[in-house]
Amino acid sequence: MNNSALIPNHKEYKDSGVEWLGEIPADWNLTRLKNTVHGYVNGLWGNDPNGSDELVVVRVADFDDIRLDISDQKLTYRSIPEKDRQGRLLNKGDLLIEKSGGGDKTLVGRVVLFDKNYPAVTSNFVAKMTPKNWVDSLYLKYVFFTLYSRGVNYASIKQTTGIQNLDTRSYLKEFFCIPEKYIQIDIANFLSKKTTQIDEAIAIKEQEINLLRERKQIIIQQAVTQGLDPNVPLKDSRVDWIGKIPEHWEVRRSKFLFTQRKERAWKDDVQLSATQAYGVIPQEQYEELTGKRVVKIQFHLDKRKHVEKDDFVISMRSFQGGLERAWAQGCIRSSYVVLKALEEIDPTFYGYLLKLPSYIAALQQTASFIRDGQDLNFDNFSQVDLFIPPIREQREIANYVSSFMTSSDEGIELLLAQIEKLKEYKTTLINSAVTGKIKITPEMAEQ
């Protein structure tokens, strides 16, 4: 995919005078962004639909960050009076700029192309920019992508109470290099074709990842619920979520396999965090793994519950992601339920079992209603029966699943790394083309 070494350079360059832009082709013009568009027009949210003057209102949520255009999947219709439409109606080829929003990992200031034929306006968090006649809108879309990827918008961002606001007037004072329009069109056509090819390659790899994850879940479910011997006789467990299991396995009420650990925190207990991704681990370890800060309790530590390594914890997220295995001794918040085994078990085996989607679904059915963050208790847990293979089989299954997961995860990580490389190549290709670091010929645009 990376054949940029075969792409020619321009014969002569000049200093742009813009530090991040560097040298640009000698025959390209340096201009402010405001000179490429007819200003900007802020949008509006309108009123609830009334059945008479409804119109599509394009939101930031409709931005397609891959194709750099608008997604039609979940269009929003609002009541927009005729007087409020004047000057705001979008035309095919307009650019839409995010002026409010952003997040922890994304800055405000994304720009996409409106390439639709239906009437629409932008929401109050989005402004429209109509390119001037001497500028190709598709080319300008890639220009703004480059500016965003290089963080040029950062200097024009103001943040208050968690929301980022883009000073659009200030941002459009930034400089960029623009060639003649016929060159813009060649560059835009070239990039449109090449980025589509890259996006298709990424989509294929993402599909492969999804298939690997589906296969991983099927293999784990089969190994945990039916063992490793495909020829073993099966019996009906008489438990809906379990189905058929090897006939020598035992089905038991969960409260006769696990009981609550109700000890208060020990004096030397470290504070633990119950997480879906890592299980129950020390808060300091969680901070190291995620880069996030955790608010540590300074008072009433004696009210927390003691946890032993290989216990299981029912947390506020267990309703969605199953029970969490404790990987260290420590203490957990008092509202959580701590489970300890009443007999010898393999904690790795039950770690997989208690996070099976079928088990989680059965756990959800024990509650009278469903909502995010619902607290489950020991009574909910006790209503879902469990099965017990012989301890030797528990260990064999746990080892098999762990080995399989390692192999599967390595394959997924490899594909994710390849996707990241493709995304980097896409960004580099766009940046190089619109800044003139590489020369795009008419022949290349037609290929």
Residue 212, CB half-sphere, CA atoms under 13 Å: how many?
19
265 secondary structure, DSSP code:
P
Four-CA torsion 16, 17, 18, 23, nearest 10 degrees: 30
- Comparing C-alpha atoms, which of 348, 356, 441, 338 is closest to residue 391? 348
- pLDDT of amino acid 437: 96
* CA 251 vs CA 186, 188, 225: distances in Å: 69, 64, 11
What three-state secondary structure class fits 229?
Answer: coil
Q: Which residue(s) pair with 275 in the sheet?
A: 279
Distance CA 214, CA 112 (A): 33
pLDDT tens-digit series, residues 307-321: 999 999 998 888 889
Q: Is 326 left (phi over 0), alpha (psi -120 to 50) or beta?
A: beta
Q: How many residues does the chain have?
A: 447
| Enclosing H/E stretch for 337 | strand 337-341
- Comparing C-alpha atoms, which of 112, 101, 104 is closest to residue 65? 112
65 secondary structure, DSSP code:
T
- pLDDT of amino acid 320: 87
What three-state secondary structure class fits 70?
Answer: strand
Spans in the chain with pLDDT lower than 50: 2, 4-5, 372-373
- pLDDT of amino acid 403: 98
- pLDDT of amino acid 308: 98
Distance CA 389, CA 138 (A): 62
| Enclosing H/E stretch for 330 | strand 330-332
Q: Please state the separation of Cα 187 from the chain's center in Å.
A: 30
Of the chain, the end-to-end C-alpha distance in Å amounts to 15
158 secondary structure, DSSP code:
E
Do residues 286 and 292 make contact, with C-beta atoms less than 8 angstroms apart? yes
Going from the N-terminus, what domains does the chain have, and what CATH number goes with each?
A: 1-13+181-227+391-447 (1.10.287.1120), 29-178 (3.90.220.20), 231-388 (3.90.220.20)
Q: Which residue(s) pair with 201 in the sheet?
A: none
Residue 259 phi, psi dihedral angles, 5° rounding: -130, 170
- 377 contacts: CB under 8 Å, gap ≥ 6: 314, 337
- pLDDT of amino acid 52: 85
- For 79-180, where are the alpha helices, taking DSSP H only? 82-85, 137-149, 168-171
Do residues 55 and 76 make contact, with C-beta atoms less than 8 angstroms apart? no
Q: Which residue(s) pair with 160 in the sheet?
A: 163
Instruction: Supply 15's token pair.
Output: 């200093």
pTM of structure: 0.86
